[in-house]
């Protein structure tokens, strides 16, 4: 699908569906689609991310669905987050969208001034530092909360979240947009270009995939797909990110992973695969038949073991590695962002 077609589909969904919701005020694109020209092909596994600006108490749960051939992910954002250009400029998850022609619908003109101002001063040091400080606080908070894990099942997600947040901190410090599936790949590119390739390997040490072969990753992807297929069949209990447990997400999971593997980023692809594997596992433990749960628990336990996590003691040791690597990342990115600060 061409990027231009994906944008037109997004506008149609907003007009036909989102604008009819109570409290709807505006909508804009998010994600990699904003970076593409109209004739560019939408990358394999990419969805169409739409942020809907909603009045207080009118938000809706994050959702993903197939619409006219596109996989749409719709996110509700409160109107208060768009109260001023300065509020958006300070937000690492909003500001970068407005550097582009991201607006899908804005019947009251609420986003016009934000769009104009953000495009003009997005790169100003003041706003870079504000976005960076928010990203850094998110990473520090995630690492602090990781100490409370009581089982591998509850602790494991905090490790791949920490890797994603470290990767995104690097991206934000270099005026790039935070992302999910390819966050560690984009961070690796920056680290290699700036002479810090060792730190890219450190991120993989936290994840546990530094020594993974391409064949290992393909095998884990196959097992993940099996768990996902069964999870889609039984999913009933909502949780974050359980909204991904829909049939049309298979292309993003499998195709997006295969694209990374084919380009030599198989070790980095495990960040995405492991996250979705865990999501499918939790779905199966929540909603699967009792007689199947031991089988799926054995499956995720094998993944943990292959990542070097055999028990909770291993998890806490890895968490210390994560904190050490996070310290290195923050030391590096602090220098980038505050290098000229007096």
* Burial state string for 263-301 with b = 16 or more CB within 10 A and e = fewer than 16: eebbbbbbbbbbbbbbbbbbbbbbebeeeeeeebeebbe
Name the residue ranges covered by the structural domains of the chain.
3-122, 128-330
Would you state the pLDDT for residue 342? 46
CATH 3.50.50.60 fits 3-122, yes or no: no
pLDDT beyond 80 at 216: yes
- The burial of 88, by beta-carbon neighbours within 10 Å (0-12 exposed, 13-18 middle, 19 or more buried), is given as buried
φ, ψ for residue 108, nearest 5 deg: -105, 0
pLDDT beyond 50 at 34: yes
User: What is the rounded average pLDDT of the residues 238-252?
Assistant: 92
**Beta-sheet pairing, 70-78 with 48-54:** parallel
Would you state the pLDDT for residue 341? 57
Residue 237 banded pLDDT, cuts 50, 70, 90: very high
User: What is the rounded average pLDDT of the residues 45-67?
Assistant: 94
Contact 273, 160 (CB under 8 A): no
């Amino acid at each position: 699908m061409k990027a231009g077609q994906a944008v037109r589909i997004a506008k149609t969904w907003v007009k036909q569906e989102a604008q009819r919701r109570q409290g709807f005020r505006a909508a804009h694109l998010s994600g990699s689609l904003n970076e593409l020209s109209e004739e560019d092909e939408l990358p394999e596994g990419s969805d169409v991310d739409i942020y809907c600006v909603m009045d207080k108490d009118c938000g809706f749960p994050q959702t993903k669905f197939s619409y006219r051939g596109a996989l749409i992910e719709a996110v509700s954002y409160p109107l208060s987050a768009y109260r001023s250009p300065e509020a958006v400029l300070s937000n690492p998850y909003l500001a970068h969208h407005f550097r582009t022609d991201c607006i899908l619908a804005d019947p009251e003109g609420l986003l016009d001034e934000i769009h104009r101002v953000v495009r003009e001063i997005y790169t100003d040091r003041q706003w870079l530092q504000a976005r960076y400080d928010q990203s850094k606080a998110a990473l520090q908070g995630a690492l602090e909360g990781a100490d409370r894990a009581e089982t591998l099942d509850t602790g494991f997600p905090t490790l791949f979240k920490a890797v994603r947040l470290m990767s995104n901190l690097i991206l934000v410090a270099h005026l790039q947009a935070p992302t999910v599936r390819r966050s560690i790949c984009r961070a690796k590119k920056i680290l290699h270009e700036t002479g810090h390739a060792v730190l890219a390997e450190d991120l993989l040490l936290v994840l546990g995939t530094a020594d993974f072969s391409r064949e290992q990753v393909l095998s884990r992807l196959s097992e993940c797909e099996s768990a996902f297929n069964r999870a889609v069949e039984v999913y009933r209990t909502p949780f974050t990110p359980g909204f991904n447990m829909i049939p049309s997400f298979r292309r993003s999971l499998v195709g997006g992973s295969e694209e990374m593997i084919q380009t030599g980023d198989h070790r980095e692809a495990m960040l995405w695969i492991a996250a979705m594997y865990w999501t499918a596992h939790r779905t199966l433990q929540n909603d699967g038949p009792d007689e199947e749960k031991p089988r799926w628990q054995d499956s995720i336990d094998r993944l943990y073991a292959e990542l070097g996590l055999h028990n909770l003691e291993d998890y806490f040791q890895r968490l210390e590695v994560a904190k050490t690597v996070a310290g290195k990342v923050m030391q590096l990115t602090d220098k980038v962002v505050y290098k000229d600060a007096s």
